[in-house]
Amino acid sequence: MIEAELKARVRDPEDVMSRLEARCPGRAEVYQDTYFDDAAGALMGEDRELRVRTVHGQDSTRSVLTYKGARLDASGSKPEHETVVDDPDAMRAVLLGLGYVVAIAFEKRCRNYAFDAAGRRMLATLVRVKELDETFVEVETLVEDETELSRALNDVRAVLTDLGIDGSDLTNELYTDAVKSRRAATPAGPPGA
């Protein structure tokens, strides 16, 4: 499967949330994401991702293991393979045992909206990452192969337009890169603090 997705910075989070709530009720979730790589950083160096995500919702907690291949185009859309993980601690231990290392871990506060648009199942997510101090919106749909990608992205763009998102706010910067950059720019406190 390919995740046809566009991400944008949100200038007016309350307005976008109001427009999404008019489509369907949102669900608040907290994502705890841990990204793995080999010691040389080859996966991320090749624009690939290996992640264990635990999602804490109001009524349940679930975990998934995700592998994403390199971006297929400028939109940032990637082939994605995901499976449910019953024991995320055991999955992390497996990955560490195989020689992977934790490349980065961070938390995302999300509000998810699942709805149909243009004959497709869509997921829109409002995202806040503490280190970034910005709100983002991601809109995605899944397609079988690259032949469907362009049309799917047009449908995703139409949803973003309906949400009042301007094309100039689109970004394909990965959260992993943005968080690493912000952490590198923030001086550490004194030793022992």
The pLDDT value recorded for residue 190 is 62
C-beta separation of 29 from 22 below 8 A: no
Fold topology of 2-182: Hypothetical Protein Pfu-838710-001 (2.40.320)
pLDDT tens string 100-143: 999 999 999 999 999 999 999 999 999 999 999 999 999 999 99
Assess whether pLDDT exceeds 70 at residue 67. Answer: yes
Residue 186's pLDDT band, with cuts at 50, 70 and 90, is confident
* CB-neighbour burial class of residue 8 (10 A; exposed 0-12, middle 13-18, buried 19+): buried
CA-atom Rg of the chain in angstroms: 17
Kindly tell me if the per-residue pLDDT of 77 is higher than 60: yes
Average pLDDT score over residue span 12-23: 98
Higher pLDDT: 192 or 52? It is: 52
Ordered by start, the domain boundaries in the chain are 2-182
> What is the arithmetic mean of pLDDT over 76-86?
96
pLDDT number for residue 187: 75
pTM for this predicted structure: 0.92
DSSP strand pairing (101-117 vs 135-143): unpaired
Kindly state the greatest CA–CA separation across the chain: 56
- Please say whether the beta carbons of 115 and 163 come within 8 A: no
For residue 191, what pLDDT is reported?
A: 62
